[in-house]
Chain A
Amino acid sequence: MSEEAKKDPYEEHMRALTSTELAKAMQTFCDKIEFGDAAQLNSCVHCGLCTDTCHYYLASGELEALPAYKLNLVSAVFKNQHTRLGKIAPALTGAEALDAEMVSRWIDSLYGRCTLCGRCALNCTLGINISRLIRLARTTLASVNLVPPELQSTVSTAVDKGNNMGIPRQEWFDTLQWLDEELQQEVSDPSAHLPIDQPNTRLFYTVNPREPKFFPLSLLATAKIFHAAGESWTFSSDYYDVTNYGLFSGDDQASGVISARLRDSMHKLRANTLVLGECGHGYNANRWEAPEWLAGAYGFEVKSILEIIADYIRQGRIKLDRSRNQKRVTLHDPCNLVRLGGIIEEQRFILKRAVSDFVEMYPNREQNFCCGGGGGQLSMTRFAKRRIESGRIKAEQIRATGAQIVVAPCHNCIDQLSELNKEYKLGVEIKTVSEMVADALIIER
């Protein structure tokens, strides 16, 4: 281990775990296991057919990246705790105790070599939800403060400051005010604007804070679409962050706190539908996981912005001229939106009407490969080298299409794809679906 690693307080904590901490971790692990988890932890036959499904393994060939190995790390602890043979003769079934050495392997493989993309789960011959079980292990580690600090910092910023980038309220207002002026110029309508805290609107729109911080034109694109559709919508002045990195850290409590804010904003604004901006994990977290973290059904609709835009097109509320987007376009399917979210065809329906030359990459839809940016990897700088290496599979997919533009309805994916673009010299532009639609939009004056 390097001198730098030795000085890393996180590494030091990992090495000096107390028996009390290990007992607490074990308790969390046992408490969080549901029937389905226990059934699946008893199911793996080590057939090894999941091997090629993981972009980490495909890119690196490292055995520690094998999905079956990662699942083994979790099931070893389960067997040691919950099966007779695992207690009596652990070596026979591969059972192992949750000790400091196992914790170290968990961190290395379950945080460091997994994006929770679910591709192994989809292709498992038995149907084991491997990514769910890996998140269960992350939850266990989170209970003893063993989330890699860079990822924890993103979660803590969201909890403490209301959004994961810590954008002050005034900066948010200033950005929206500036975008108001831009929108008015774009659509030649002085009454056009980006509403904030408007009560009783149809839609409450939430975004990835990277948009106001680094990609304000992506916000402008969506505002332009809303304007063209004559939509009743609003932003919130306080909680507008669609992301929830608790999904990746495994911290259910923080996940619940972050999710509750959007739910409460919905109630405060009395909007009809919570609309989730182009953010893959934000969609999965808020559409599918948040009601479970908060232990209650939402009394309102939760939709992706892609569903909203597709409906505008179907209903004739917006008109597009695909000849305005002449370059060849391909689509990246964010894992949390597509495979784990179920939003599969809407983005295709939209792009086929917004661009002249649309080509699929292969494999696609629910079988897509993760770009490598999910699972909190973009935050966990300690594993950045692996992240870029694992993205080679996606880079090769993109190159094979010959596309000049890659559309990705997820800002995390866009960040990773931008890095892959440089690293693998792809020479592509990377855009959101809204940006493509805004470029093709026919504004009736």
Chain B
Amino acid sequence: MSLVLLLRLGVVLSAVYCLITLTVLIARTFSFGRPPRYAKAQGSAAKGIVYAFGQGMLPWEKESASKHLPTFFAGILYHAGIFAAIFFLITALLLIKLPDVAIRIVRLIAVIGLLSGIGLLVKRFALPYMRFISCLDDYIANILVGLLLLFTLLATYHYVLQFALMAVAIVLLLYIPVGKIRHCVFFFYSRILFGTFFGRRGTLPHPSIED
């Protein structure tokens, strides 16, 4: 079996492992149970959830974003880079040849994502309060994703570097379920729970103002 085939198989198997492990993790999380809620709702949980994934994601709706705009946008660009890298990795696995324009777009998003990721990592290292709340997992996750973005960028220039990209992808996929990157699934649950909580209570979306 050639190295390229081995790496492709490795990525697929580690992706399957990642999906299965995350599914088990979600099932275990559900096993904690959820008692019924008895207090009569004042607002709407559904509207709260729509707010949580819509208006509530806008920077001016959250002080955490409005007061930290560079970090907020770095985070968005970082994640955009990750999605571009995943897209490029899938095309590489399926041996799809991307048109030049698509490669240039992937390259641009990956480089911006990489720079954003480096910026976030530097911030984590440099600021005392960030170091105080960080653990090893935070640095590992950031470095692994940074490597994925770096090798995505390099692989857009030379086919051979796709091997390195796949090797990094295997490590990353194996790491996702055990480290903080698991938030890729729990993010959605957290936002749903956020919307449900504040929606039922009538806090969000903002009630209309009666003059």
Contacts and interface: CB of A to CB of B under 8 A. Distances in A.
Nearest to A37: B32
Most buried by A among B30, B128, B194: B194
Interface in A65-99: 66, 68-69, 72, 82-85, 91-94
Interface string A132-143: 000000000000
B39 A39 contact: no
A287 B39 contact: yes
B189 interface: yes
A33 B33 CA distance: 8
B38 A291 contact: yes
Given A52-B67, A53-B63, A291-B39, A46 B30 contact: no
Nearest to A63: B132
Most buried by A among B28, B137, B179, B202: B137
B202 A342 contact: yes
A42 B38 contact: no
A33 B56 CA distance: 26
Given A35-B32, A92-B136, A297-B40, A127 B203 contact: no
A126 B198 contact: no
A289 interface: yes
Interface in A278-314: 287-292, 294-298, 302
Interface string B35-52: 101111011000000001
B38 A295 contact: yes
Contact of B183 (A36, A126, A367): A126
A366 B135 CA distance: 32
Interface residues of B, number: 64
B29 A39 contact: yes
B119 to A, nearest CB: 13
A48 interface: yes
Contacts of B178: 83-85, 93
A160 interface: no
Tier of interface size on chain A: 35 or more
Interface string A36-57: 1111101111111111110000
B135 A94 contact: yes
Contacts of A34: 32-35
A271 B183 CA distance: 48
Nearest to A122: B198
Contacts of B136: 91-94
B104 interface: no
Contacts of A82: 28
Contact of A366 (B129, B180, B203, B210): B203
Contacts of B187: 43, 126
A129 interface: yes
Contacts of A51: 129
Given A45-B183, A69-B133, A288 B201 contact: yes
A339 B63 CA distance: 14
Interface string B58-93: 000011110110011001000000000000000000
Contacts of A127: 52, 56, 190-191, 193-195
Q: State the main secondary structure of chain B at its contact with A.
A: helix
A345 interface: yes
A9 interface: no
Interface string B112-146: 00000000000010011110111111101000000
A296 B127 CA distance: 48
B16 to A, nearest CB: 19
Given A42-B182, A42-B186, A123 B209 contact: no
B64 A85 contact: no
A165 interface: no
Given A35-B33, A36-B193, A125-B65, A47 B71 contact: yes
Contacts of A268: none
B207 to A, nearest CB: 5
A352 B40 CA distance: 29
B204 interface: yes
19 contacts: A35-B31, A36-B189, A39-B29, A40-B190, A42-B186, A43-B183, A47-B75, A48-B124, A52-B67, A93-B180, A123-B64, A127-B52, A128-B194, A291-B39, A338-B203, A342-B42, A342-B201, A345-B208, A352-B211
Interface of B: 25, 28-35, 37-40, 42-43, 52, 56, 62-65, 67-68, 71-72, 75, 124, 127-130, 132-138, 140, 178-180, 182-183, 186-187, 189-191, 193-195, 197-198, 201-204, 206-211
Given A38-B29, A39-B190, A46-B180, 9 more contacts: A43-B187, A44-B183, A46-B130, A121-B194, A122-B203, A125-B72, A126-B191, A342-B207, A367-B63
